[in-house]
Structure 1
Amino acid sequence: MILTKLFNDFFNSERASGIILIGCTIFSLVATNLFPGYFEIWHFSFAGHSVTHWVNDGLMAIFFLLIGLELEREVYIGELSSVKNALLPAIAALGGMLLPASIYYFINRNGGDTRGVGIPMATDIAFALGALSLLGKRVPPSLKVFLTALAVIDDLGAILVIAIFYTSTLSWVNLGIAAGIFLILFVLNRLKIYTLWPYLIGGIIMWYFMLHSGVHATITGVLLAFVIPFGNGGEASISYKLQQFLHKPVAFIILPVFALANTSIPIEGDFFLAFGSTISIGIMAGLLIGKPLGIFVFSYATVKLKLSSLSSDIAWKHILGAGILGGIGFTMSIFISILAFDNETLIDQAKMSIMLISTVSGALGFIYLRSVLKGEATET
């Protein structure tokens, strides 16, 4: 399998981003607990919202725009363009969402907080691909594509969960205006208007009204991605140019800033006792056990039912490794935890649980795949 330049650019930027995110997380945790002023920076309020709120609702919309563009490319000309090829990562992603959510719900159904059921459903693209890329040329190209497609579909699932289950009281007027702007941009797409600026201006206006509609504003990024003309997907298309342009700002600015803002967590003396709460146990069990089990079992069933097939260069041992890496929640899981809980203590507990178990999943996935890929070398 020959991987396209744009795919390799995306893969490489996610690898580097994963490494930077680790550094930002460590720095933010240390700075918060050594320098109280650092915590206040992210909670400084302007225009009615904290800096962290603007990061989560504003900058992350650009992250979702990139995810939407990547998903669009996969649907039109990539791994998801063929129904048979798309079914394997799609059903695997479904299993990787349903089983972790079920585990969390089972643990929290009696007296726990079930609002966090969406937290262990998400896979962090940057960290998962970052861990995989550290294995170098031994990684089969099809495994890179499988994990990328799975993570992108997983993020789409997380976006749907956010839109459906983590939406506050709706303002139908604002939502209607946002929908009207989306319709206008769709018409521009159908009229083959291939200039980028009308879409970006329309996207900013749509974001504003979505922000005030009750639906999370980051959904705008995905909606905008699908009305930006794709054309033939070549290097001359505005979709290609925008996706290529966004790789580095998202990987090296937006996601690191998100990590800095959302891992600014004060650690008190009895803080670690919270790891014994049903919320923490549900998140950790969902990501560490539910993710790999759901991904592997649903993948296996898909192939055995002849709905899809494994590529010739990967085996079930590779799928299991990808499933373990799927347990790296971080960005999307932290994002959902912010929406799920109103109590700052619960949010911080969830964040710490996500960071701990994502580290464990990443380490286990890397060690496992290194052992099964030992001696293998593949050209990409």
Structure 2
Amino acid sequence: MSKSRRLPGRIAARLIKLAHGDAGAGLILLGCAALALVLANSLLAEAWHHLLHGQLPLIGQNLHYWINDGLMAIFFFVVGLEIKREVLDGELASAARRRLPVIAAAAGMAMPALVFLAVANGTPGIAPGWAIPAATDIAFAVGVLALAGKRLPPSLRLFLLTVAIVDDLGAVAIIALFYTAGIDLVWGAGALAALAAMLVLNRAGVRSGAAYVPLAVIAWYCTLHSGVHATIAGVLSAMTIPMQLDRRGDSLLLRMEHAVAPWSAYVIVPLFGLANAGVKLGAGVSLFAALPLAVAFGLFVGKQVGILGAILLAEKFGLAKRPAGASTLQLWGLAALCGIGFTMSLFIAALAFPTAPLLVEEAKLGVLAGSALSGLLGFVLLRLAKR
């Protein structure tokens, strides 16, 4: 068979291999983001907008609403499961293990917010977006890390995952504390009652997922009407799932994470990207406006300065050791990858400007620009770095 005929087969095999590795979820998400941009700037833009924002029969609201407030609750449920597993029996289980990731993640959230506010320079109406560049997209970041090559020390991937998990926890706290307008006490009490019932099941030794899922749905529905963002119910519900291992070394939490995580990574997050990444370029939206510049600089500059600076200072003052075998150039590349803020940043952007669609579009543009620059720089630095 000629080389020209074998080439498509080799490309297909390579794509299949990538889709099943760390890069898979990131590549799918990248494809959905690119498709969203194409649709938003094509002849299908009006039809696509109507599909996302048109009123749905029977169930009400629109498709965009149910993706952001419904399906994303499952994404946050998986985030909660990951956080609980890491805290109880993972890289966050001991003070020595969690010290550097927590320091790096905290600095990697604070510095982008400070850079955002510095670049915004008091521009009216955009201050609520300070948290947009504070988040890291774990799917994209780990995907780019995988594409950068196998010669990188394994400690880098583990450190990136741990920082991203702490980052997710911080983002959830920010959403709960700063993007909750008012709380309906009756609905809030209903959500708390459902969560309390799940805790009782946990204490009683119930290890069947069928007992927890209906209560988690009730907690989500009550939270949806309480004024607190519904995705918080996903994280809190995950915290009630039993982690205790049985005689086979298994647990309900591990089974749930194994069952739901692929759906979150390969279906829910790509759908979120498809529904939220589209920006109509030239429709009053400029990358050089204050908001997109503040978001982009926060992600591209703030993340690098915060995370790399925290690692080097922690090492210098003896607070923690850097990841084993990692060079300073590799740590710089890792810090740059943390500036890929896509999923959580887009999510926070929608919460920050609920009544200002133009500002949401500007924030999206800043997220896309900052994430693209961060991913490109991180990839180049990691490819250039020697083990």
- Matched with 2:106 is 94
- Matched with 1:50 is 62
For residue 216 of structure 2, the aligned residue among 203, 217, 237 is 203
Normalising by structure 2, report the TM-score: 0.90
For residue 239 of structure 1, the aligned residue among 240, 245, 253 is 253
Pair 1:126 & 2:139 matched: yes
- Matched with 1:64 is 76
C-alpha distance in structure 2 between counterparts of 1:231 and 1:64, whole Å: 21
> In 1, are the aligned partners of 2:311 and 2:322 still within 8 Å (CA)?
no
> In 1, are the aligned partners of 2:308 and 2:332 still within 8 Å (CA)?
yes
> Offset at 1:278?
1.5
> Offset at 1:231?
0.9
> Offset at 1:178?
0.8
C-alpha distance in structure 1 between counterparts of 2:111 and 2:291, whole Å: 16
Q: Which moved more, 1:83-92 or 1:247-256?
A: 247-256
- Aligned partner of 1:332: which letter? M
Unaligned runs of 5+ in 2: 1-18
C-alpha distance in structure 2 between counterparts of 1:269 and 1:247, whole Å: 37
> Offset at 1:73?
1.4
> Offset at 1:136?
3.1
C-alpha distance in structure 2 between counterparts of 1:283 and 1:200, whole Å: 37
Normalising by structure 1, report the TM-score: 0.91
> In 1, are the aligned partners of 2:330 and 2:381 still within 8 Å (CA)?
no
- Matched with 2:192 is 179
From the CA coordinates, give the structure whose radius of gyration is larger.
2
- Matched with 2:30 is 22
SS state at 1:49 partner: coil
- Matched with 1:167 is 180
SS state at 1:275 partner: coil
Pair 1:33 & 2:46 matched: no
CA deviations over 1:82-133 (Å, ceiling 9, x no partner): 1111010111000000000011122324233100001000000000000001
- Aligned partner of 1:365: which letter? G
CA deviations over 1:311-348 (Å, ceiling 9, x no partner): 43223332221110000010000000000012111101
> In 2, are the aligned partners of 1:74 and 1:80 still within 8 Å (CA)?
yes
C-alpha distance in structure 2 between counterparts of 1:182 and 1:173, whole Å: 14
- Matched with 1:6 is none
Aligned Cα RMSD in Å?
1.7
SS state at 1:137 partner: coil
C-alpha distance in structure 1 between counterparts of 2:202 and 2:223, whole Å: 21
> Offset at 1:155?
1.0
Q: Which moved more, 1:206-215 or 1:35-44?
A: 35-44
- Matched with 2:14 is none
- Matched with 2:381 is 368
C-alpha distance in structure 1 between counterparts of 2:375 and 2:113, whole Å: 20
- Matched with 2:341 is 329
Identity fraction in percent: 38
Q: Which moved more, 1:34-43 or 1:107-116?
A: 107-116
SS state at 1:45 partner: coil
Query: Which aligned segments of 4 or more residues in structure 1 are displaced greater than 4 angstroms?
Result: 11-14
For residue 189 of structure 1, the aligned residue among 202, 207, 230 is 202
For residue 314 of structure 1, the aligned residue among 308, 326, 338 is 326
> In 2, are the aligned partners of 1:14 and 1:251 still within 8 Å (CA)?
no
- Aligned partner of 2:273: which letter? A
- Matched with 1:147 is 160
Change (3 A) 1:99 1:320: same
For residue 216 of structure 1, the aligned residue among 215, 219, 229 is 229
- Aligned partner of 1:28: which letter? A
CA deviations over 1:219-277 (Å, ceiling 9, x no partner): 11111111100013875211111111112211111011101111233233553xx2122
